[in-house]
Amino acid sequence: MIRALFLLFILISCNTSTKSNYDTTNDVLEWDKDNVVALDRNDKALRDSKTVTKDCLGVFKSKFRANKDSLTIFFVKVKVSENESIEHIWLEILEIQDKNSVGVVSNIPYYFKNISYLDTLSFDINKAEDISILHEDEYIFGNYLTKMLDEK
């Protein structure tokens, strides 16, 4: 029964739309400062969102490969390290090639000195911590951690 409910949750989660809270009149630095959230690695919402992300990753990859709409933007949140610092950064995806995927840093790194906003990074899509698809300022897929934190 619990497994069936969890599978139902995943099916619903993989297809829900939510309006973006991103204010395009705000510059990125101000938006990032106002929206940084520090979470314990054992936070239930964080763990659950990572599980749903992994379960929906195949659908996400298929949607990326099939996309022909320039108004649709695909994002992935990945763990990035520089020296002793670790951050979880959103990347706008340019290419999905499993361990050699490529994206552009879409938020201002807080701790890093050598990684900046709009830098291009390679990453492993299979280690995604969250995923989202934005179409005309509306999240049409993913953004699981934000949804789960809003439910708290």
Q: Is-contact 143 18, C-beta < 8 A?
A: yes
Positive or negative torsion for Cα 24, 48, 79, 76: negative
Window from 2-6, 24-28, 76-80, 84-88 with minimum mean pLDDT: 2-6
> Is residue 13 predicted with pLDDT exceeding 60?
no
Residue 142 has what DSSP assignment?
Answer: E
Of 106, 43, 47, whose CA–CA distance to 77 is shortest? 106
- Categorize the per-residue pLDDT at 34 as very low, low, confident or very high, splitting at 50, 70 and 90: low
Q: Is-contact 57 74, C-beta < 8 A?
A: no
**What residue numbers bound the domain in which 62 lies?**
2-151
Please report, in angstroms and rounded to a whole number, the separation of the first and last CA atoms in the chain: 23
- DSSP letter string, 22-66: --TTS-HHHHHHHH-----TT-HHHHHHHHHHHHHHHHHHHHHHH
Q: How many domains does the chain have?
A: 1
Q: Which comes out higher in pLDDT, residue 18 or 70?
A: 70
